[in-house]
Amino acid sequence: MPTGAAQTKPSPHVQRKRRKRRAEILHAALRAFRTKGYHATTLDDIADDLGVRKTALYHYFPDKETILYECHREALGEIKRLMKEAQKLDTAEERLAHVIQEHVRVMTDTLEGSPLAFEVPALSGRRQAQVIAARDRYEGELRQIIDDGIKSKEFRPVDSKLAAFAILGAINWIARWYQPEGPLQGSELGAEFADYLVGGLSNARACDEIPDEMESSS
Amino acid sequence: MPTGAAQTKPSPHVQRKRRKRRAEILHAALRAFRTKGYHATTLDDIADDLGVRKTALYHYFPDKETILYECHREALGEIKRLMKEAQKLDTAEERLAHVIQEHVRVMTDTLEGSPLAFEVPALSGRRQAQVIAARDRYEGELRQIIDDGIKSKEFRPVDSKLAAFAILGAINWIARWYQPEGPLQGSELGAEFADYLVGGLSNARACDEIPDEMESSS
DNA sequence: TCAAATTTCTACCCGTCGTTCAGTTTGTCG
DNA sequence: CGACAAACTGAACGACGGGTAGAAATTTGA
């Protein structure tokens, strides 16, 4: 029993409509953030995209920052899902390729070329901490995949932390140059990125295995 | 004969002092931009860092945007220089490694972990176009290095445009996590990045050359 | 078709921040 | 020391943009 009031519950059909509207707002915001950045985006910018006055937005979100935060929540959900998928795969190389490919595809195809990684500092206090924690978790898992690959000799022995940062940087930066109307499909882009960024770690190439006699010191 | 006036020229010593102060302001701004972003940074933020009131800044720069623009000019100068250096090297692999290594080093060691690539959209009109043109030139040269390497068989045949974007993304993203006080030196970081990002392209590994019989069709 | 609920609009408030300006302090040079 | 320029200050302005209140319009459901 929350704030106990006799509110006639919102009805099932109207709820779906409201949800849809919320999503539309979030995506309009995402588009605006991508081109101008969060701080340079006004509520009017977002509202104009929907053919509405800015005050209408306040029926769905209490303030501007919450809009950004909800965008983050949606994105983090996708990220979490894709990482879970990846964990089912057998080799580190497959896992890493899947993460890169899907991360790129989600950004481009379902998140308006998500510029969210750019806007974490715009969140304040508790929310920023939450998003950073989730991001750190993701980075840690990505790093783990790389370390696993190194241990299994699939990858060269690089600094997994830096490699993870490099990979995420390359991916996040896509928001800066990707054009949804352009000829490049998100999945192709993802495949190319996975190829380049994984190839950079893969030790086994066209040539056969390299014997590992150097690290047996005794 | 410009706007002919009998201005007593500024004296040589006072000029150097002024230049130094300008540089200090630019670097304070750079630090602020890195942590908060351009739009979220107030002139008070920059001024406070220098122990001064914001109005003092107006004796050196006519407005906030010009401060950002001058930061960009300084950075682009460094970038141009480093690319020129790279062009003297013999192999594409050496050139690419040098560009990456130096780009990273300049960002971390001399530009306060430069967040400038994030702030291009904050410039308006003519200036933005100028910076973008310079950036595009740089990207083109980087891409050329990659294409050269592919042609000479040093690199795998990847999409050079995407590879260049990936590399620049990885580098630019450094601004987001690099901590000047941290243990990691800029040059080490540069070396690691060059290793990973070039290794991703290098076709020749520990194993000897791969005979190229597949593309001689006739 | 009508009432209740939901969504959106018009009009306004108010804090922040870039910017201006007139004046004071600090520094330089003869 | 004295004259002048450079560096800086403090007060105030004005615009922009986030946020609020209440009225109007639209949709929902009988």
Instruction: Determine, yes or no, domain membership for A14.
Output: no
B166 inside 8 A of chain A by CB = yes
pLDDT of B175-216, one tens digit each?
999 998 888 888 899 999 999 999 854 444 544 444 444 444
Instruction: Determine, yes or no, domain membership for B29.
Output: no
**Mean pLDDT of the A60-87 span:** 96
pLDDT of A140-168, one tens digit each?
999 999 999 999 988 988 999 999 999 99
The DSSP line for chain A is: --S---PPP--HHHHHHHHHHHHHHHHHHHHHHHHH-TTT--HHHHHHHTTS-HHHHTTT-SSHHHHHHHHHHHHHHHHHHHHHHHHTSSSHHHHHHHHHHHHHHIIIIISSS--GGGGGGGS-HHHHHHHHHHHHHHHHHHHHHHHHHHHTTSB----HHHHHHHHHHHHHTHHHH--TTSS--HHHHHHHHHHHHHHTTB---SS-PPP--TT---
* Contact in structure between A108 and A178 (CB atoms under 8 Å): yes
* pLDDT exceeds 60 at position A210: no
**Number of neighbouring beta carbons within 10 Å of residue A124:** 10
Which helix (H) or strand (E) element contains residue B139? helix B125-151
**Mean pLDDT of the A175-180 span:** 92
**Mean pLDDT of the B141-169 span:** 94
Range of the domain at B96: 64-199
Number of domain units in chain A: 1
Instruction: Please indicate whether residue B29 or residue A206 has the higher confidence score (pLDDT).
Output: B29
B37 inside 8 A of chain A by CB = yes
pLDDT of residue B148: 94
Average predicted confidence (pLDDT) for chain A? 86
Nearest residue to B114 via CA among B176, B56, B161, B156: B176
What are the distances in angstroms from CA A24 to CA A12, A75, A111, B28, B177? Answer: 19, 15, 11, 40, 32
Instruction: Determine, yes or no, domain membership for B58.
Output: no
φ, ψ (nearest 5 deg) of residue B161:
-65, -50
Residues of chain B with C-beta less than 8 angstroms from the C-beta of A163: 196
Instruction: Determine, yes or no, domain membership for B33.
Output: no
ipTM of the complex: 0.86
pLDDT of A103-147, one tens digit each?
999 999 988 878 999 999 999 889 999 999 999 999 999 999 999
Instruction: Determine, yes or no, domain membership for B70.
Output: yes
Chain D: positions less than 7 Å from a protein CB are 5-11, 16-22, 28-29
CATH number at residue B131: 1.10.357.10
Question: Per the structure block, which two tokens stand in for A19?
Answer: 């949800």
Instruction: Determine, yes or no, domain membership for A104.
Output: yes
Average predicted confidence (pLDDT) for chain B? 87
Nearest residue to A40 via CA among B172, B47, B128, B58: B128
Instruction: Determine, yes or no, domain membership for B153.
Output: yes
B36 inside 8 A of chain A by CB = yes
Residues of chain B with C-beta less than 8 angstroms from the C-beta of A39: 37, 39-40
Instruction: Determine, yes or no, domain membership for A73.
Output: yes
